[in-house]
Structure 1
Amino acid sequence: MNILFTGGTGLIGSAFIKGIGQDYHYTVLTRQPEQAKCILGPKVKTITRLDALKDLNAFDAVINLAGEPIADKRWSAARKVKLEQSRWALTEQLIQLIQDSNAPPQVFISGSAVGYYGRQGQQPITEESATPHPEYSHTLCKVWEDTAQAAADKTRLCIVRTGIVLAPKGGALAKMATPFKLGLGGPIGSGQQMMSWIHLDDMVRALHFLLQEEACQGAFNATAPHPVSNREFSQTLARTLNRPCFFKVPAFVMRGLLGEMADLVLTGQAAIPKRLQDHGFEFEYPNLVPALRHTLQG
């Protein structure tokens, strides 16, 4: 199978390519081809621009995970433009290439995030049950998803709404674990906000499942079936690291540090992977305690 991959050098993309390599041939869109080959191996092909392609007839699948990290910097007007264009414009280019293809890829897997739902309180939500809350994370993801939706008349489309990915290196967990390792960790804000998370291994397996299962199409929550509150996550993380969980970070401090972006950590949603499970996907790490132990202790 020939796969065109955007975001292939990122946390999820690199884990997928290195973990699900057999029988697949990857072409990775990257601005740094040599670095990409160092990360992913010499057998991976690279392209630096999508306009180097006239169509996607040569590809059996497209996995589109590219996008500027949403939580790396404050959301200034300029930063929002980068977040949007890195997702929307690139997806528009892929859609045009699919439309220009006489033999388009059999499946188009496109990224999104549970931020699509906005703040949802503590009530569990599924792909069909939630009414999204109108805020920036929702707008960013909705336009991204709506853009990808234009491929549905030409190929099987799967949109992946990803939660917090737990990985031993990189990603959100490394940032969250640092204050705990220093003995300064604790809940953020009220601690009642829900956190939808997924182990990196299950994230990779879920993408592979969607790639292979022809009955799968539409939106899927890529989250473990047991979301937890920020307080429970903090306490579990502290126990896993054998560190205290005494300190609480007030909401006003987070807003002062992060501005509007603080909404990502002060609010949340309990997203349940109903559609993945309905199609028969089984999680290796459905519960937080073993997921964190495996991630942090090996």
Structure 2
Amino acid sequence: MKILITGATGFVGSALAKKLLDSGHELNILTRSRENLPDVFKNSRVTAFEWKDTSVAPPIESISGINGVINLMGENISAKRWSNEQKIKLHTSRVESTKNLTNLLNHNLTAPLDFFISASAVGIYPVGLTDCLNEDSKTGKNFLAELCKDWEAAAYTLTKVKRIVIIRTAVVLEKNGGALTKMLPPFKLGLGGPIGNGNQYMSWIHLDDLVNIYTKAATDPKMSGVYNAAAPHPTDNFHFTKALGKVLHKPTLIPVPAAALKIAFGEMSSVILDSQKVISKRLPEEGITLQYETIESAMNKIFETR
């Protein structure tokens, strides 16, 4: 197939692009700049189109001959404090840019796409509950939840498509990007430890499993609607910390005060401090299994060279 990917040069996008190319697909990618693209995109089956201003429609040439779209674009949630300006940027980079893309598709496609797969996040669900949440659970009402709701609604403005798939992603784990990149430095120095009381739960997924979910969503015509991309065993912060310290062969004795994180990161600290146990009901129901179901198996894979 020929697949258009937004956010292709990001942490998830680059890994997904490699998987799709290895499977023989062609890719059109939308990027702010075609200069200094990662090596994975230096491939005869990749065509890059510049979309510098996402407040307007992307180049019409980018949708020529495509079978489907994988929509991953969005400002990094944890990049900086959530000032009012940053909240607008987080919203615009996901919601308005998605609407501009779907508007282009609705007005210029001669036939419906086979699929439109759009990223979302488990942040759409409430926090602080003791129960496990799944795709049938109610949604939350905080900033992240409202952002995700608007993001998903933007995907559903596309009418010229056979199926829409929404991937609500948990914290993605791999050592060369995502959450672990920020966590590793203190742990490598032996200064890692649980955050607050360590009781808060985190839903997570290994990058390889997430890439496999996206790939299957693109190639399996039966997949449609919302899926939680989350391992079946959420972990509390205490056990996550111990698992990370074990594979790094480092102590995890120094707790990080929750108050310090609130001072340092403001409202954005909720990403780290809020407790949330999200699993997928639909993936196992549809026979989709993950390679890494426990935090120990994921950590062992990520740091297997040690």
1:144-163 matched pairs, under 5 angstroms: 144-151=151-158, 154-163=161-170
Q: Which residue of 1 aligns with 2:83?
A: 76
Q: Which residue of 1 aligns with 2:218?
A: 211
2:127 to 103, 108, 119: 119
The answer to whether residue 269 in structure 2 is matched with residue 252 in structure 1 is no
Q: Which residue of 2 aligns with 1:38?
A: 39
2:29–2:62 Cα contact (<8 Å) kept: no
Tell me how far apart the structure 2 counterparts of residues 178 and 51 of structure 1 sit (CA, whole Å): 38
Q: Which residue of 2 aligns with 1:197?
A: 204
Q: Which residue of 1 aligns with 2:173?
A: 166
Q: Which residue of 1 aligns with 2:54?
A: none
Q: Larger deviation: 147-156 or 208-217?
A: 147-156
1:118–1:137 Cα contact (<8 Å) kept: no
Cα deviation for residue 126 of structure 1 reads: 0.4
Q: Percent identity?
A: 38
Tell me how far apart the structure 2 counterparts of residues 251 and 36 of structure 1 sit (CA, whole Å): 38
Tell me how far apart the structure 2 counterparts of residues 187 and 37 of structure 1 sit (CA, whole Å): 35
Cα deviation for residue 57 of structure 1 reads: 5.5
Q: 1:152 to 1:282 in 2, by over 3 A?
A: farther
1:56–1:98 Cα contact (<8 Å) kept: yes
1:191–1:229 Cα contact (<8 Å) kept: yes
Whichever residue aligns with residue 71 of structure 2, its letter is N
Cα deviation for residue 38 of structure 1 reads: 3.4
Whichever residue aligns with residue 33 of structure 1, its letter is R
2:95–2:150 Cα contact (<8 Å) kept: yes
Q: Which residue of 2 aligns with 1:294?
A: 301
Tell me how far apart the structure 2 counterparts of residues 18 and 166 of structure 1 sit (CA, whole Å): 17
Q: 1:121 to 1:178 in 2, by over 3 A?
A: farther
Tell me how far apart the structure 2 counterparts of residues 55 and 181 of structure 1 sit (CA, whole Å): 43
1:119–1:133 Cα contact (<8 Å) kept: yes
Whichever residue aligns with residue 183 of structure 2, its letter is M
1:143 to 141, 150, 157: 150
- The alignment's TM-score, normalised by the length of structure 1, stands at 0.95
Q: Which residue of 1 aligns with 2:13?
A: 13
**Structure 1 runs of 4+ off > 3 angstroms?**
54-57
Tell me how far apart the structure 1 counterparts of residues 63 and 33 of structure 2 sit (CA, whole Å): 22
2:33–2:50 Cα contact (<8 Å) kept: yes
Measured against aligned partners, the alpha-carbon deviations of 1:120-173 in whole angstroms (never above 9, x if no partner) come to 433211010x22231111011110011112226633000011111111201111
Whichever residue aligns with residue 251 of structure 1, its letter is A
Measured against aligned partners, the alpha-carbon deviations of 1:240-295 in whole angstroms (never above 9, x if no partner) come to 11111111111111100000001111103111121122111111111111211111
What is the aligned length? Answer: 297
Unaligned runs of 5+ in 2: 52-56
Q: Which residue of 1 aligns with 2:24?
A: 23
Q: Secondary structure of the equivalent of 1:33?
A: coil
Q: Which residue of 1 aligns with 2:3?
A: 3
1:5–1:28 Cα contact (<8 Å) kept: yes
Tell me how far apart the structure 2 counterparts of residues 52 and 154 of structure 1 sit (CA, whole Å): 19
Tell me how far apart the structure 1 counterparts of residues 232 and 160 of structure 2 sit (CA, whole Å): 31
Unaligned runs of 5+ in 1: none
Tell me how far apart the structure 1 counterparts of residues 115 and 266 of structure 2 sit (CA, whole Å): 38
Q: Which residue of 1 aligns with 2:105?
A: 98
Q: Larger deviation: 231-240 or 114-123?
A: 114-123
2:58–2:101 Cα contact (<8 Å) kept: no
1:121–1:267 Cα contact (<8 Å) kept: no
Cα deviation for residue 23 of structure 1 reads: 2.1
Q: Larger deviation: 201-210 or 53-62?
A: 53-62
Q: Which residue of 2 aligns with 1:228?
A: 235
2:125–2:133 Cα contact (<8 Å) kept: no
Give the CA RMSD over aligned residues: 1.6
Q: Larger deviation: 15-24 or 48-57?
A: 48-57
Measured against aligned partners, the alpha-carbon deviations of 1:209-260 in whole angstroms (never above 9, x if no partner) come to 1111211111111111111111111111111111111111111111000000
Tell me how far apart the structure 1 counterparts of residues 219 and 232 of structure 2 sit (CA, whole Å): 21
Cα deviation for residue 71 of structure 1 reads: 0.4
Q: Secondary structure of the equivalent of 2:27?
A: strand
1:122–1:193 Cα contact (<8 Å) kept: no
